[in-house]
Structures are given as structure tokens and as C-alpha cells.
Structure 1
Amino acid sequence: MLQCLALYIGALCHDLDHRGKNNKFMLDTESPLAAIYSTSTMEHHHFNQTVTILQQAIAMTASDLSASSKPWDIQVETVKVIFEEFYQQGDAERAAGRIPIPMMDRNQPDQQPSSQVGFLTGICVPCYTLLDSLIP
């Protein structure tokens, strides 16, 4: 299934935003794209256009949220790491004289459960529901 999805995305993105000219023409005419991509001008352009679209696409968000779709024991360990990162930011904010938001305040660990429930129900479930409707 993963290979099929990769091939599908590759097929969609092949020659994305093709300008009707080859790499040599782009270099010889000093096109703006050739100034950005000095080798394999159009291939680099197609790839970067693809990345730009994927960053807007729901699939990038779903990948970012993927820990929430893992088995519970793995998800629990991931959440510990994420909250430690949040707490370190909260510590840095407190050291800078700021008040961290409750989720990033290690002095308020009771905020973790409601934060996770809100994250799962408000962000993860809608994201994966949409992704499932787009790519069943």
C-alpha cells in the first residue's frame, strides 16, 4: 500500500509546474529558475513545488501527528518526551521572566491529561478523519 501511495504521489508530481522548456534552455537563457537551481533546474523545481504542496497538504500534518496513532505503550513514551520538551521551554520562559502556558509548566502536571484529550479530539481525530476520506 505504501509503495502504491509513493508511486501515486510521484506520478502526480512528475513535471509539476513544467514550463515547456528543458534544463539547457533554462540555463542558456538565464531564466530565474536557473539562477535558483543551477543543476537539474526543472527537476529541482518540480521537487520543491511538490514539497510546497505537501506542506499545505493534510498528509504532512498527519505525519507530524503520527505518534497519536501508534499503540498505547509507544504513544505514552512519546508523550513523555514531548512534555519534557514542553517543560524545558516553560523553564526557559520562566527564566526569561515570562509565565509559561499551563501545558508547558512543569509545576502544573495536572494539565497533561486534559491537554492530551483536547489534542486527540480537536486535532488528531479531525485530521485523520479527513485523510481517511481523501485516501480511504
Structure 2
Amino acid sequence: MMVSTVYQTNKKTGVVHAYSSESYRDPVTKKPRTRRTYLGRVDPVTKMIIPKAAPGSRNRTKLSVTQSDELKLPPEISELIAEQTKAISEMREELDLLKAKNREMAVLVKKLNEVSEKMLKVLD
């Protein structure tokens, strides 16, 4: 069995994804097959693989503060990453609030549609 890393670029977004590719021979058909396992995205600046998020978690930041410490980046860049991480988390909170309001509005619109349909039936 041979294992290698394969990089695949999404043509629409330009995002590069990394996969672990394992070649093996299918015992039934006697033909070579490939098994791919998703590893994560590739950071466009550092070219490091950012691991996939654990199931159920929301790991959307491209480079966390701890990763910048591990890379021994200059303090100015680490500060910028920290600021961006804070801004991203604030935007996520705002997005969650907007989504909740959107759900409330959808319920109200549904109720209004039901009432208007009942009124139209009464008028007919």
C-alpha cells in the first residue's frame, strides 16, 4: 500500500484542500483502487494544512493565535491575527442573532400567510 498527500483546488473559490490518498488492490476485481481521506484546507500564506474541524464544532478561522505562536511569527502579525480572531467571533455572534431574528420573522410571515388565506376563503 502506498500513501501520499493529494492537493485539490476548488476552481470556483480557489481554496486548496488536502487529502491523504492510499492505493490498494481490490481483492475481488483484482484492480487498483484509491481511498482518500480529507485532511483539511491549505493555508494560502503558510502552505500548512489546517486540520478539519471536529464533528459539531465551528472551526472556521484560517489561522488561530496558538498556531501563530507555533510558527514564531513576528509580534505585529500575531497581534493582527488576534484582532482578526476577535472581530470574527464578534461577527459570528452578530450573525447568530440575525439568524434567530430571521427565524422569528419566518414564523410571523407564515402566520400572516395563514391568516390571509383564511380571510380570502371567508371573502369568497
Q: Larger RCO: Structure 1 or Structure 2 (Cα < 8 Å, ≥ 6 residues apart)?
A: 1
Q: TM-score range by the shorter chain?
A: under 0.3
Q: Structure 1 length normalisation: TM-score?
A: 0.26
User: More helix by proportion, 1 or 2?
Assistant: 1
Larger Rg: 2
User: More strand by proportion, 1 or 2?
Assistant: 2
Q: Structure 2 length normalisation: TM-score?
A: 0.28
